[in-house]
A and B are shown apart, each in its own frame.
Chain A
């Protein structure tokens, strides 16, 4: 008891101390520019709102939101918008989905997929400390139905090497795949290190209770060995952390490992754990990892200042992802103006590109918003609207398939056909009562204003003068005005610009 009290007092002291030197967005910008190059300007309000809403809520803002944001003259409106987005229900769902995706194996079955995704969305909504989330995922025991966090490890069915590789990838940001079989000449890890790490899961067992019912538990005894060949087993391995810390003293091996994760110099800011998570969040928002690859980061010690600062901030916020995201979203680096990147080749140093394909769920949400179908139309029953939304989302997503694929919607023939010929899609852009184009033609008097509004609604930017005069010429070129508007609306929605983050 006393021990606990002293511990928490010490924690308060540490936190109190570090509060004085809190990491600010300005610090991050300075370090960002040192690493990537000069950031000239912030982007305009519309570009910021689109970028941020897509990254955090997985959707684009609608016209009304965008206009309210642009006309808002209050200072600190961007921060206000960031906070609102981070606390929204849609962000819990979207970020939860993203987190679940990384935890799920490619071939995970539908039931596991759904349950783990819900669990992850709840964790995200509560803004739980990532330290606790990781501890749950690594060390929870019990029936799958009692605590869905066990589903992560259940995927590996008690296979210690598989589990170890996954845990290392997820929580340490390192890939042990090569070390599993041999001492790779270029890899950082030796085979013996792999097996010592895998020994942490050597007593992990999965019991089948019935059809699709499993229980995860820890056997009190047993040594971890691996098969050398058909007849021979290796010597037993003691459980160790990846840095060689001996974890064999603790009776609960996985608990000891979870605890070790966030230990380390500077309260864990120099641990693999904090650095790996920061690297991931940075990649989520900037499109590139800060160091190495997401699952292949270097040993601590030689990190760029930017990573050090972010890891420090992450630890100071008690490993909360929401605070980390908020810090990054506020920076000028995140809010920078989209550059012309045409001549820069891929490998050269410089600012990471802002243009990257939207995920399947983002694109589905963007279609709904850009066609005004994100909310019920006047007089439309709510349940009918929900059903429509679901079927349309499914229609767009079943073609986009896996969210994690790095291709813009429309890159496959099947998707392109749906854009061109799809009935639901073509229906949405028609100028008939209840649809966007119908009210646009009825309520907005001039072509010029209509075209500006259409562009603003779909691409969340105003048209350039060249575009405007080209489109005006197109609209006026024939008597079939309504059809011409439909065609232009179609082209905007089918454009790569619409299908990309930028």
Chain B
């Protein structure tokens, strides 16, 4: 195979990860021969995978606390298992619920953790704990794993046009965010995949030249004010405003536009909010977003657990599988970490209303992609009430995912006089490749 040395791909590869990476990407995209290339193929017509994307992370957040017995740890031979049927998978010894036929066929891409445990059984407290890997402290704001993943990816691959960290799902006050990391890692919030993203496009009557004029006026004011106020304060805002202005007219913002995808692709992901959000997550990561969090709400199944989890499970199975397929086909799976979990598990004992209540003592998570080995880690007892093998704490999982993103969990951040270690959890080597 011979490849022209001036091929854009190679040029990009050479500059990838260097400080010039960003500038090179921009130059490459604006080069005159842009139209002669289909970004996914080289001159020989060989598929070489998406190159605009760098290391990335996609979090599938199952909000409400998914039942581990209806997702990653079914108990078909025990009364606690309820009516959930199971199917065999590609992974030896791994059974998954029958709502997951597609994931079962792709289980060789997954690492199923069955032995997570914590003590937080309240939605807000548990969400904070699981997302930040830290107990809330009054005088400290910790970053979520998503923000840390975006930070890690940006460290190694440089800045892109789109924001580094996005969350697709309903917002509510009190959710943890970038914490002590810079405000550029604050989550960019998108309510729903199917609706128009607000503020992304300029109002119709506001021309690019006027926006430029405005920016010019502002720039002068900011320069003068920075002599009085803390320059850092002004600088952060200038950076954010420049980034936002930089969206105008860029190809990358089409990542938000799902109508660019064929009807077939869209239906492959599932015609529901979660599925379409997964599709958007793929498009965003392809266009340089470092971390996307997709929220699937509805897992708080105190009542009618079995019917509701099978519906949610179907959507999850479809969206998650399509995401795995597309990332693999684009050669992005090895660069992209996928983490799928919620804030806690649910009681193995079924309550009177056919539901399951909050249960943080045993629950699960699934990892895939970047640096993740396939397999099953940890084991719960036959009745699902306790852990019998390899218990995993929330900080351990946090440290493991940080490591998978290529960052050392023991990295220290300086908060005033106080050094803060990113995570004190133990990296679980059996989940990670080599």
Question: What residues of chain A have their CB less than 8 Å away from a CB belonging to chain B?
Answer: 105-110, 113, 165-166, 169, 175, 177, 293, 295, 338, 340-342, 353, 355, 357, 398, 401-402, 407-408, 410-423, 426, 467, 470, 474, 483, 487-488, 490-492, 494-497, 499-500, 502
Cβ–Cβ contact B139 & A407, under 8 A:
no
Q: Which residues of A contact B174 (CB under 8 A)?
A: 106-108, 402
Minimal beta-carbon separation of B232 from chain A (angstroms): 9
Given contacts A338-B228, A420-B245, A426-B203, 5 further A-B contacts (CB under 8 A): A110-B172, A340-B228, A355-B228, A402-B174, A490-B217
Which chain B residue has the least Cβ–Cβ distance from A480? Answer: B210
Cβ–Cβ contact A494 & B218, under 8 A:
yes
Cβ–Cβ contact A105 & B240, under 8 A:
no
B220 beta carbon closer than 8 Å to chain A: yes
Cβ–Cβ contact A420 & B230, under 8 A:
no
Known contacts: A107-B136, A295-B138, A412-B240. The answer to whether A423 contacts B203 by CB under 8 A is: yes
Cβ–Cβ contact A355 & B138, under 8 A:
no
B189 beta carbon closer than 8 Å to chain A: yes
Cβ–Cβ contact B226 & A342, under 8 A:
yes
A223–B388 CA distance with the chains assembled, in angstroms: 35
Minimal beta-carbon separation of B289 from chain A (angstroms): 11
Q: Which residues of B contact A398 (CB under 8 A)?
A: 171
Q: Which residues of A contact B221 (CB under 8 A)?
A: 491-492, 495, 497
Known contacts: A295-B139, A414-B186, A496-B222. The answer to whether A502 contacts B200 by CB under 8 A is: no
A12–B277 CA distance with the chains assembled, in angstroms: 69
Cβ–Cβ contact A355 & B237, under 8 A:
no
A175–B138 CA distance with the chains assembled, in angstroms: 9
Cβ–Cβ contact A357 & B241, under 8 A:
no
The 9 closest A-B pairs by CB, nearest first: A107-B124, A355-B229, A416-B244, A491-B217, A416-B240, A417-B199, A412-B186, A411-B183, A491-B218
B16 beta carbon closer than 8 Å to chain A: no
A187–B43 CA distance with the chains assembled, in angstroms: 66
Q: Which residues of A contact B217 (CB under 8 A)?
A: 474, 487-488, 490-491
Which chain A residue has the least Cβ–Cβ distance from B222? Answer: A496
A422–B222 CA distance with the chains assembled, in angstroms: 21
A418–B236 CA distance with the chains assembled, in angstroms: 16
Cβ–Cβ contact B230 & A355, under 8 A:
yes
Q: Which residues of A contact B234 (CB under 8 A)?
A: 496
Q: Which residues of A contact B122 (CB under 8 A)?
A: 107
Q: Mark B136-161, 1 if CB is under 8 A from A, else 0.
A: 11110000000000000000000000
11 A-B pairs within 8 Å (CB atoms) are namely A293-B139, A338-B228, A413-B188, A416-B241, A416-B244, A417-B247, A423-B198, A490-B214, A491-B221, A499-B237, A502-B229
Among B172, B173, B201, the most chain A Cβ lie within 10 Å of the Cβ of B173
Cβ–Cβ contact A500 & B233, under 8 A:
yes
A106–B228 CA distance with the chains assembled, in angstroms: 33
Cβ–Cβ contact B139 & A420, under 8 A:
no
Cβ–Cβ contact A497 & B225, under 8 A:
yes
Q: Which residues of B contact A107 (CB under 8 A)?
A: 122, 124-125, 127-128, 136, 174
B206 beta carbon closer than 8 Å to chain A: yes
Q: Mark B195-227, 1 if CB is under 8 A from A, else 0.
A: 000111111001000110110011011101111
Cβ–Cβ contact B225 & A421, under 8 A:
no
Cβ–Cβ contact B228 & A341, under 8 A:
yes
Q: Which residues of B157-172 are within 8 A (CB) of A?
A: 163, 171-172
Cβ–Cβ contact A496 & B199, under 8 A:
no
Cβ–Cβ contact A487 & B213, under 8 A:
yes
